[in-house]
């Protein structure tokens, strides 16, 4: 069996049919996963200043750029194995560099609260076996983690939920639009206005406290009634909710206190973002936005966004990430003006502006290791086909040696 790295569900029940050292077909994967497992559409080649070269020259040029940088940054590693992440953190330490990842502008602070044990959580296996009420909040799992409902939450039979979704489970969607997930939740879709999550949470806390909420009273009391009756519930927090409450996780903690039978789970996208967050948390006590100099300092000014806005970074190594498609335009102008080193299996928008590109093996097809699923479970990833490309873990080693 192979493991899919298409999202942080890390489905490890994938059958891969290999022919002539290529993955010809997959079974059990969703469409997104099947496409991922077929590999890159356009493979990255080693280059310097957008001119093709060989790997050794790309590595030498990277070392030259990084040694001359006053304030380098290492960004990404969410699509790398735990082994590569550990080496990336060591590399950043050696460089006294800033280290940050995509969680800096999505689920990082929520994961930090969970690692600090300030929010109750559980495993996906617990959800499959015990959960009777599932709340998808600002999360369209059907599109982002396509097998979430079928493998773990709504559709499967579980030890204490033998009658599955027909009788034993209720799925609820709270969102600004009727997403594909909301359509599955039948009568339990609660539409909220854009950025209206905060008011919705406050009204729900009132309803759960036995008060009459000022906000959509009838529906709010109905929702509070369902949540109060839950024996084992889960709130799946999507980026719709985290963006809307703007890092004010105290309000989510206040709601969680009113729901003692519920667990909170961040709906992580990148397959090993949680792995990166856990590794950096273990090393520094923070999940992102850290300068390793040599004592770790955490500050918002070390987020990729702030570092680029303030023009504090003068060279950046991007590993398995594509900030050119996720950051706002004014920030991108500065990013494109500094030396970017892009380590990735595939061509990306970031590789197109990079001063140096270093292609690496695609994890779980061409290299193995371990990764941490969105619920914190360690999953092993095995190599399926042989490849001439170095795993990103080995590239981190090479950079460490040369620096
Ligand atoms: S749900 Fe995610 S991990 Fe599972 S097969 Fe689809 S893309 Fe891959």
The verdict on the CB of residue 219 being under 6 Å from ligand 1 is no
Decide which of 212, 240, 266 is a domain's last residue: 266
Q: Which of 12, 15, 28, 30 to mutate to test the pocket of ligand 1 (most atoms within 8 A of CB)?
A: 30
Strand partners, 98: 73, 291
Place of tokens 């790997």: 55
396 within domain boundaries = yes
The verdict on the CB of residue 10 being under 6 Å from ligand 1 is yes
Query: Do 62 and 120 share a domain, yes or no?
Result: no
The verdict on the CB of residue 269 being under 6 Å from ligand 1 is no
Which ligand 1 atom sits closest to the C-alpha of 145?
1
The verdict on the CB of residue 146 being under 6 Å from ligand 1 is yes
Give the pLDDT score at 166.
87
Decide which of 232, 266, 300 is a domain's last residue: 266
How many distinct structural domains can be found in the chain? Answer: 2
Query: Do 127 and 211 share a domain, yes or no?
Result: yes
The verdict on the CB of residue 6 being under 6 Å from ligand 1 is yes
Residues 6+ apart with CB under 8 A from 260: none
Residue 141 three-state SS: helix
**pLDDT, tens digit, for every residue of 202-241?**
999 999 999 999 888 899 999 999 999 999 999 999 999 9
C-alpha 294 – ligand 1 centre gap (Å): 38
Range of the domain at 298: 42-104+271-368+390-402
CB 62 within 8 A of CB 375: no
Measure CA of the first residue to CA of the last residue in the chain; give whole Å.
38
The verdict on the CB of residue 11 being under 6 Å from ligand 1 is yes
The C-alpha atoms of residue 368 and residue 382 are separated, in whole angstroms, by 4
Give the pLDDT score at 70.
95
Closest CA to 362 of 39, 13, 35, 3: 39
Query: Do 144 and 100 share a domain, yes or no?
Result: no
Q: Is the pLDDT of residue 21 over 80?
A: yes
The verdict on the CB of residue 364 being under 6 Å from ligand 1 is no
The verdict on the CB of residue 33 being under 6 Å from ligand 1 is yes
Q: Which of 7, 151, 180, 269 to mutate to test the pocket of ligand 1 (most atoms within 8 A of CB)?
A: 7
13 within domain boundaries = no
Query: Do 310 and 328 share a domain, yes or no?
Result: yes
1 within domain boundaries = no
- In this structure, which residue's CA is closest to atom 4 in ligand 1? 11
216 within domain boundaries = yes
294 within domain boundaries = yes
The verdict on the CB of residue 7 being under 6 Å from ligand 1 is yes
**pLDDT, tens digit, for every residue of 286-324?**
999 999 987 899 999 999 999 999 999 999 999 999 999
CA 165 to mean position of chain CA atoms? 27
Query: Do 77 and 123 share a domain, yes or no?
Result: no
C-alpha 235 – ligand 1 centre gap (Å): 20
C-alpha 6 – ligand 1 centre gap (Å): 5
Closest CA to 121 of 280, 275, 235, 2: 235
The average confidence (pLDDT) of the chain is 95
Q: Which of 14, 15, 31, 145 to mutate to test the pocket of ligand 1 (most atoms within 8 A of CB)?
A: 145
Residues 343-353: b if buried by 16+ CB within 10 A, e if exposed: bbbbbbebbeb
Q: How are beta strands 22-27 and 15-19 bridged, if at all?
A: antiparallel
C-alpha 146 – ligand 1 centre gap (Å): 6
Q: How are beta strands 369-372 and 356-359 bridged, if at all?
A: unpaired
**pLDDT, tens digit, for every residue of 336-345?**
999 999 999 9
CA 79 to mean position of chain CA atoms? 9
Give the pLDDT score at 246.
85
DSSP string, 69-103: -SSEEEEE-TTS-HHHHHHHHHHHHHTT-EEE-GG
C-alpha 388 – ligand 1 centre gap (Å): 26
Which ligand 1 atom sits closest to the C-alpha of 7?
2
**pLDDT, tens digit, for every residue of 141-192?**
999 999 999 999 999 999 999 988 888 999 999 999 999 999 999 789 999 9
350 within domain boundaries = yes
The C-alpha atoms of residue 373 and residue 377 are separated, in whole angstroms, by 5
239 within domain boundaries = yes
The verdict on the CB of residue 150 being under 6 Å from ligand 1 is no
C-alpha 98 – ligand 1 centre gap (Å): 31
**pLDDT, tens digit, for every residue of 354-378?**
999 999 999 988 999 999 999 999 9
The verdict on the CB of residue 324 being under 6 Å from ligand 1 is no
Percent of the chain whose predicted confidence (pLDDT) is above 70:
100
Closest CA to 264 of 375, 379, 151: 375
Query: Do 168 and 97 share a domain, yes or no?
Result: no
Give the pLDDT score at 13.
96
Give the pLDDT score at 370.
97
Residue 40 three-state SS: coil
Place of tokens 């519930």: 233
CA atoms 362, 363, 364, 368: torsion sign: positive
Query: Do 122 and 262 share a domain, yes or no?
Result: yes
Query: Do 78 and 150 share a domain, yes or no?
Result: no
CATH number of the domain enclosing 253: 3.40.228.10
Place of tokens 């070392």: 63
CA 232 to mean position of chain CA atoms? 25
Residue 332 three-state SS: helix
The C-alpha atoms of residue 281 and residue 73 are separated, in whole angstroms, by 18
C-alpha 9 – ligand 1 centre gap (Å): 6
Q: Which of 27, 32, 79, 377 to mutate to test the pocket of ligand 1 (most atoms within 8 A of CB)?
A: 32
Give the pLDDT score at 330.
85
The C-alpha atoms of residue 206 and residue 145 are separated, in whole angstroms, by 32
The C-alpha atoms of residue 133 and residue 227 are separated, in whole angstroms, by 7
Give the Cβ contact number of residue 268 at 10 Å: 30
CB 271 within 8 A of CB 10: yes
């Amino acid at each position: 069996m192979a493991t899919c790295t298409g999202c942080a569900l890390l489905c490890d029940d994938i059958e891969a049919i290999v022919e002539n050292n290529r993955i010809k077909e997959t079974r059990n994967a969703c469409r997104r996963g099947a496409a991922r497992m077929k590999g890159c559409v356009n493979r990255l080649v080693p280059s310097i200043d957008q001119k093709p070269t060989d790997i050794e020259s790309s590595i030498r040029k990277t070392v030259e750029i990084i040694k001359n940088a006053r304030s380098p940054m290492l960004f990404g590693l969410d699509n790398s194995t735990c082994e590569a992440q550990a080496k990336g953190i060591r590399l950043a330490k050696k460089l006294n560099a800033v280290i940050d990842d995509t969680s800096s502008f999505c689920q990082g602070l929520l994961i930090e609260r969970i690692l600090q044990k300030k929010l109750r959580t559980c495993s996906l296996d617990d959800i499959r076996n015990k959960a009777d009420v599932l709340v998808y909040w600002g999360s369209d799992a059907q599109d982002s983690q396509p097998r979430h409902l079928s493998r773990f939450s709504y559709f499967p039979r579980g030890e204490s939920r033998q009658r599955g979704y027909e009788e034993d489970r209720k799925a609820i969607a709270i969102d600004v639009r009727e997403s594909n997930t909301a359509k599955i939740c039948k009568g339990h879709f609660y539409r909220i206005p854009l950025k209206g999550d905060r008011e919705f949470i406050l009204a729900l806390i009132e309803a759960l406290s036995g008060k009459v909420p000022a906000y959509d009273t009838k529906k709010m009391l109905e929702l509070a009634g369902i949540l109060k009756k839950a024996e084992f519930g889960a709130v799946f927090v999507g980026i719709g909710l985290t963006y809307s409450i703007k890092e004010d996780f105290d309000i989510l903690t206040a709601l969680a206190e009113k729901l003692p039978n519920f667990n909170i789970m961040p709906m992580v996208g990148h397959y090993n973002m949680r792995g990166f967050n856990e590794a950096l948390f273990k090393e520094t006590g923070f999940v992102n936005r850290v300068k390793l100099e040599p004592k770790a300092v955490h500050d918002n000014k070390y987020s990729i966004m702030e570092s680029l806005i303030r023009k504090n970074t003068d060279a950046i190594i991007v590993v398995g990430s594509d900030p050119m498609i996720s950051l706002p335009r004014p920030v991108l102008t500065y990013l494109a003006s500094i030396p970017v080193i892009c380590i990735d299996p595939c061509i990306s928008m970031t590789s197109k502006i990079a001063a140096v590109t270093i292609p690496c093996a695609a994890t779980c097809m061409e290299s193995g290791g371990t990764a941490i699923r969105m619920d914190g479970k360690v999953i092993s990833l095995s190599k399926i086909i042989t490849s001439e490309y170095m795993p990103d873990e080995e590239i981190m080693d090479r950079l460490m040696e040369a620096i």
